[in-house]
Amino acid sequence: MPIKKRSVPTIESVTRQMQVFEFRYRISTEEFLRQDFAECPVNEDDAMQWHYLREQLSALQDAGIERLYSAFPTGSGARLKNCENSSELLAA
């Protein structure tokens, strides 16, 4: 049986999936991170998937920064690192 691959995620698609969980349980990202699930029982599958989405989002964001770094001359990294999103990076 061959191993299959799912479609490549994007920052937008991962963010949307996280928002679906947050909407379903009516809690924010911050609450999700703090959540002990005692008062709001998040099912274990969703909790594990939400944490994985967070790891994916972090990896995608890091990869975006790396790609943009390479487009700029050496030495501009420190300034670019403070930008919060890609549009700011491109404008920098």
| Residues at the site binding other proteins, with contacts judged by CB under 8 A | 1-6, 8-9, 36-37, 43-48, 51-52, 55-56, 59-60, 62-63
* 79 or 81: CB nearest other proteins: 81
- Dihedral (C-alpha) 2, 17, 11, 62: value to the nearest 10 degrees? -80
| Residue pair 40/21 in contact by the 8 Å Cβ criterion | no
Least gap, CB of 55 to other proteins (angstroms): 5
Residue type, position 59, single letter = A
Closest distance to other proteins from the beta carbon of 73 (Å): 24
Least separation in angstroms between CB 78 and other proteins: 19
The conformation of residue 3, written as its DSSP 8-state character, comes to P
